[in-house]
Amino acid sequence: MRTRVAAAAALGAVIIAAVLSWVAARELERSNLAHADQELALASRVVLIQPVLAVGILSLTGPDRDLAVTIHKDGAVEATTAVALPPLSVGTRTITVEGTPFRVLTTTDNQPAGQTVSLGIPLTDANQTTTEQQHWVLAGAGLAVAAAAGLGWVFGGRAVGPIADLTRQVGAHRGTRWRTTGPNPDPAVPDSPVDGSGVREAEQLSAAVNALLERVDAAQAETAAALATARDFAAVSAHELRTPLTAMRTDLEVLRTLDLDDEQRAEILADLQRGQGRVETTLAALERLAAGELTNDRDHVETDLLDLVDQAVHDAGRHFPQLAVRVDADPHLVTRGLPTGLRLALDNALTNSARHGGATRALVSAHRRGDRIVITVDDNGRGIPPEERTAVFERFFRGSEAIKGGSGLGLALVAQQAQLHGGRAYFDDGTLGGVRLVLELPVRQ
């Protein structure tokens, strides 16, 4: 925009200067001719008294003279100086004689009938003076054009300053990197040029505002999706918690209203304890799911997967003494990830094998395959029917082989952690008679 303002100012100055220069040149030429006419008028006052005598006197001055006089009588030359002027009608005009321009005055004043006197002065000096004056006018016009362009650049820069500042602020808000190096550093120029044929500052501002609006739209869409997920999550969670809470309320009503013996009271108290444990387990799993939803890439750190596998296997041995777990892993497996989340996925996988699958043996493998790390958990448990192997990763879904009292969130947590790490989780046929849980993760540095 600044360049266009300067160019527009220069173009306007060119047009004005061209018109004024043409008018000035014409006026200078007219003024010089008027001066020549005045000289001829003064000379004619002397020459016309005795034109033949004047011609003789002028002829004595030799070829270098400033005045040419020719007397015509009935179309024939009566007398003339060295330069003979052609027959001309009465009046003033400019002619060329022998390559030299002359300003000529032809008159019949105080002359006998049929006689005309023509007086001419050369215009060589006058034309040279006119040319020099025109050159000065053109030089002044050129300076005016340059000054107009410079002032247009200065004032144009001040005019587009607010637009540039707004573009810079919007770009900074949306994380745009501005170019500040090069032959003409300009913080208002983005790293990549803006396509189009419009004003650059306007295009940059438009691009910055459009990108900002896109981010706003994306944020609104994410917020709407998060709200929809939260509403669904809350509805499903309330439904899952309602069942054990209803059972607990029933047990409490029985304890309060009925006269029970010790055996019946112990049975109801045990049922209450199971219900309370189920509620506590479900709430803990919901808390872990919510924590996973709130993680971002800044939380990912260098993680030693082999160390996590060893810790998960050690804890599984303490919590499930009946489960014998072997480890088959590469000696060096490091990637960027969430150590707590990956450990949670391994713990839930082994818990699922021991508690719901009834397994007594398990094999945890961890190997790098190309650009991915594959972690598998094989067991000799009851397994999962093929038609349920996808659905079990959904929240609150309990497989047909699962024991009662589970929250239905363990495998959902495994799937969530796989997704948070850019991978996936799925079930496959196992090698120990049960089922194999596969966790694929990309290698991230």
* pLDDT, tens digit, 9 for 90 and up, residues 360-390: 999 999 999 888 999 999 999 888 888 888 8
pLDDT of residue 143: 81
The token duo for 316 is 């599984």
Q: Work out how many domains the chain is built from and give that number.
A: 3
Rounded percentage of the chain residues whose pLDDT exceeds 90: 7
Higher pLDDT, 330 or 205: 330
pLDDT of residue 232: 59
Residues 6 or more apart whose CB falls under 8 angstroms from that of 294 comprise none
State the average pLDDT over residues 340-362: 86
Give yes or no: residues 286 and 345 share one domain. no
Residue 251 — very low, low, confident or very high, per pLDDT cuts 50/70/90?
Answer: confident
Give yes or no: residues 236 and 306 share one domain. no
Give yes or no: residues 333 and 250 share one domain. no
Give yes or no: residues 344 and 270 share one domain. no
pTM of the predicted protein model: 0.44
Measured CA to CA, the distance from residue 81 to residue 66 in angstroms comes to: 11
pLDDT of residue 197: 44
Q: Tell me if 71 sits within 8 A of 87, measured CB to CB.
A: no
- In this predicted structure, the answer to whether residue 131 has a pLDDT above a threshold of 60 is yes
Residue 187 — very low, low, confident or very high, per pLDDT cuts 50/70/90?
Answer: very low
Give yes or no: residues 382 and 407 share one domain. yes
CB count in 10 Å sphere of residue 417: 26
Give yes or no: residues 225 and 311 share one domain. no
291-335 per-position pLDDT tens digit: 655 566 677 788 888 898 998 899 888 888 899 999 999 888 888
Mean pLDDT of the chain: 77
Say which CATH number the domain at 365 has: 3.30.565.10
Measured CA to CA, the distance from residue 419 to residue 75 in angstroms comes to: 115
Say which CATH number the domain at 201 has: 1.10.287
- In this predicted structure, the answer to whether residue 182 has a pLDDT above a threshold of 80 is no
- In this predicted structure, the answer to whether residue 192 has a pLDDT above a threshold of 50 is no
pLDDT of residue 149: 73
175 within domain boundaries: no
101 within domain boundaries: yes
Q: How far apart are the first and last CA of the chain?
A: 45
Give yes or no: residues 86 and 220 share one domain. no
Which of 294, 313, 342 is at the close of a domain? 294
Q: Which domain holds residue 228?
A: 193-294
Q: Of the ranges 25-29, 106-110, 289-293, which is most confident?
A: 106-110
180 within domain boundaries: no
239 within domain boundaries: yes
381 within domain boundaries: yes
